[in-house]
Copies of this chain bind each other. A is one copy, B any other.
């Protein structure tokens, strides 16, 4: 289960500052993995607001059900995440495991079970034994510290080859606030959403409904626009916590997502989520290249997104990128199969800055050598102009390599 670090890993990892009102602890619970952490606990001060976005799978995991039922309360005191087992499709025993974990977590954090949030990632269909780690929660709550974000990102990894961290600051009414985020991804990554767990926290005092609206808005062009293999997980969970600790430094509480004082915060949150989402794509199982597909001139943004995803998910496009082959014919195929309006004879296709096709034919000035040079890069921009309207969208994916097959052909063994 140990794979070489993705060649697309960041050259350097951001160091995440502490977020006041929040403490972190991790442990080696031995749920599945040996000699690594697989348990994360985040503790939040009283008054912390929570927002969340989850998988649209019709077969969600037990922790997703659990979080959904607690979310309307809008308050969080503790988050418990385990890797190695997704607690998905585990039926009654799955619900028993979330209940047992929540009870132990509530006791450790001194809060109600309705203020507990849970996430699990790993194998589907195997019962999760909460007894492996529930007894650890009390000790972890006692030993938790403020600046352990990197350790948190490491504890939630599965087949990820690097931890995913990001941090931003934004000014609200003259006061700087911090937003930190971590994520895990790897396989089963597709919009709405991914085997993707991400946890974001800020010290900004933003009320839960406003936080939910901000998160929902920011997730569309980021986590909901990233795909590794078109497979949507049962477990996708993005939770955001606002401790409100910046209020002590004069930051005004904000109750409305549309509040003009949140402009910079909204931008920073969008950038942070996109950063994390792209890190997920760049660590797609077996990925050696990131594919950035932009569709312009579509009938609508939604049509542009559907076509862009059709391209980014196409096995034939993905294998062509893996083979460094500027095979734009496969891009045409993927445009055609998306089912959205397209006029073959108006299409133009660019790989990077090289226009390879125009007006429905190979560009007469197209240089195969120039296109091949683009294909040798680590990041492959594919841009399609449909010439129909003003719809535009960008999605982020990765190539399909023999390593993807090797990783997933041998996952459980």
With A124-B332, A404-B315, A405-B402 already in contact, the answer to whether A360 and B323 are too (CB < 8 A) is no
Tell which of A37-45, A247-255, A337-345 binds the partner: A337-345
Given contacts A125-B328, A362-B126, A402-B402, contact A333 B408 (CB under 8 A): no
Number of A interface residues at 8 Å Cβ cutoff, please give it. 71
- With both beta carbons as reference points, the residue of chain B lying nearest to A334 in the complex is identified as B231
CB–CB A336/B59 < 8 A: yes
Q: Per a CB cutoff under 8 Å, which of B59, B320, B338 touches A333?
A: B59
Q: Tell whether A329 is near chain B: CB-to-CB under 8 Å.
A: yes
| Smallest CB separation, A395 vs chain B (Å) | 16
| CB pair B361 A91 closer than 8 Å | yes
A243 within 8 A of B: no
A234 contacts the other chain (Cβ, under 8 Å)? yes
Closest to A89 in B: B332
Which residues in B have their C-beta under 8 angstroms from that of A59?
332-333, 335-336, 342, 344, 347
Contact digits for A313-327, partner B, Cβ 8 Å, 1 yes 0 no: 111100110110101
A234:B333 contact, CB within 8 angstroms: yes
Which of A329, A338, A404 has the largest count of B CB atoms less than 10 A from its CB? A329
Whether B314 pairs with A344 at a CB distance below 8 angstroms is: no
Q: In the complex, what residue of chain B is closest to A93 when comparing beta carbons?
A: B361
Q: Are B344 and A405 in contact (CB under 8 A)?
A: no
Q: Which of chain B's residues has its CB closest to A122's CB? A: B329
User: Is A140 at the interface (CB under 8 A from chain B)?
Assistant: no
Contacts of A341 in B (CB 8 A): 58
Are A332 and B362 in contact, with the CB atoms below 8 A?
no
**Cβ-defined partner of A229 (8 Å) among B58, B123, B316, B342:** B316
Residue in B123, B323, B334, B408 whose CB lies within 8 Å of A319:
B408
What CA separation (Å) do A338 and B394 show in the bound complex? Answer: 23
Taking a contact as CB atoms under 8 Å apart, the answer to whether A413 and B89 are in contact is no
**Distance of A315 Cα from B58 Cα, bound (Å):** 19
Do B329 and A123 touch (CB < 8 A)?
A: yes
In the assembled complex, the Cα of A409 lies from the Cα of B339 at a distance in Å of 25
Q: Can you name the residue of chain B whose Cβ is closest to the Cβ of A401?
A: B405
Contact of A337 with B232 at beta-carbon distance under 8 Å, contacts A124-B329, A125-B332, A316-B188 already known: yes
- The residue that A327 contacts in the complex, of B339, B344, B361, B412, with Cβ under 8 A, is B412
Which chain B positions have C-beta within 8 A of A332? 59, 88-89, 124-125, 234
Q: With A57-B336, A323-B413 known to touch, is A361 a contact of B90 (CB < 8 Å)? A: yes
- Contact flag A344-B230 (CB < 8 Å), given A325-B410, A327-B411, A409-B323: no
Per the 8 Å Cβ criterion, residues 279-327 of A in contact with B are: 313-316, 319-320, 322-323, 325, 327
Encoded as 1 (CB less than 8 Å from any B CB) or 0, chain A from 349 to 379 comes to: 0000000010111100000000000000000
- Bound Cα distance A411, B237 (Å): 38
Chain A, residues 159-184, CB within 8 Å of chain B (1/0): the string is 00000000000000000000000000
Q: Are B336 and A58 in contact (CB under 8 A)?
A: yes
A412 and B325 form a contact (CB under 8 A): yes
Quick one: CB contact mask for A83-103 with B, threshold 8 Å, 1 for yes? 000101111110000000000
* Sampled A-B contacts (8; CB under 8 Å): A59-B347, A89-B347, A92-B361, A190-B337, A315-B404, A320-B408, A325-B413, A402-B405
- The 5 residue pairs across chains A and B that have the minimum distance between CB atoms: A124-B329, A323-B409, A59-B336, A57-B336, A91-B361
Using a CB–CB distance below 8 Å, which chain A residues touch chain B? 55-60, 86, 88-93, 123-127, 187-188, 190, 229-234, 313-316, 319-320, 322-323, 325, 327-330, 332-342, 344-345, 347, 357, 359-362, 400-402, 404-406, 408-413
If A232-B337, A325-B410, A405-B405 are given as contacts, then 8 extra A-B residue pairs at C-beta distance below 8 Å, sorted by A number, are A57-B333, A88-B332, A90-B362, A91-B359, A93-B361, A125-B328, A316-B408, A319-B404
